[in-house]
Amino acid sequence: MSQRAGVPSARQTELLEAAYRYVLAHGLAGLSLRPLATAIGSSPRVLLFLFGTKEGLVRALLARARADELALLEHLTRAGRPLGLADAAERVWEWLAAAGHRPLLRLWTEAYARSLVEPDGAWAGFARATVDDWLEVLASCQPPAERDGADGASRRTLALAVLRGALLDLLATDDEPRVTAAVRHQLTVLRV
C-alpha cells in the first residue's frame, strides 16, 4: 500500500530509510531519482509508485528528518516538572554541537532554507513547522509562571534564535569550542 493511501508498506518504509541515509550523506540539492534508486537498491519506477512523485518522496524525507528532530525535543519534556528554559537550551545545544549529528543538521538547514525561498511544493511550510515545534517544546520546559508571563514568548524566541544562529555558525565553521562558548555566554541572559 502506498503512502498516498495512508499506511506505508514495509518496502516503502525500507526504501524511505535507505533514501534518508542517502540524503543525509548527499543532501537534497539536485536530488535525482536514478542515482538515488541505484544507491538504495531500487528503481526510479518503484520510487514513483511508492511515493507518487519526486515531490512526494522529498516530502516523506522531510517528514522523516522532522521525526528525528522531534525525538530530540521530546526527551526534554519527559521530566515531571519543567526543566527551565536555559537548561533546556543548553541540553539542545549539546546535542546540536555533537559531530555525529552534523549530517542531519545540514539536511535540516538545507530544507529550512529551501522552504524560505521555495515556499510551494515539497518544502511548503517546513521552516514554519520547525519554528512552531521548537517554540512549543521550549514552552513546555518553562515553569508556568514564566511561560505564561508577559516575556515568556520572547524568552523562548531568544533561546531559539541563539540556538539556530549558533547552529548555522557551527555548520559553516566547524569551530565548536568558540560557538559553544558564545551559546553558554548568551544563555546566561535566560538564567536571570
Taking only the tens place, the pLDDT of each residue in 87-131 is 999 988 998 999 988 988 998 898 899 999 988 888 889 999 999
Cell of 113: 532554507
- What pLDDT shows up at residue 80? 63
pTM above 0.85, yes or no: no
Is it the case that residue 72 has pLDDT exceeding 90? no
What grid cell was written down for 54? 519526486
Q: Where are the domains of the chain?
A: 1-52, 62-190
26-38 pLDDT tens trace? 888 888 999 999 9
Residues whose CB is less than 8 angstroms from the CB of residue 175 and which lie 6 or more positions away in sequence, other chains included: 169
* Residue 192 scores a pLDDT above 80: no
pLDDT for the residue numbered 44:
94
3-state secondary structure of 168: helix
Topology of 1-52 in CATH? Arc Repressor Mutant, subunit A (1.10.10)
Question: Is the per-residue pLDDT at 40 higher than 90?
Answer: yes
Maximum distance among all alpha carbons in the chain? Answer: 57
**DSSP H stretches of helix in the chain:** 10-26, 33-40, 44-51, 54-74, 85-97, 102-117, 126-141, 144-147, 152-173, 176-190
Mean pLDDT over all residues of the chain? 89
Concatenating the DSSP letter of every residue in 65-96 gives HHHHHHHHHHGGG-SSS---HHHHHHHHHHHH
Counting residues of the chain whose pLDDT is more than 90, the rounded percentage is 57
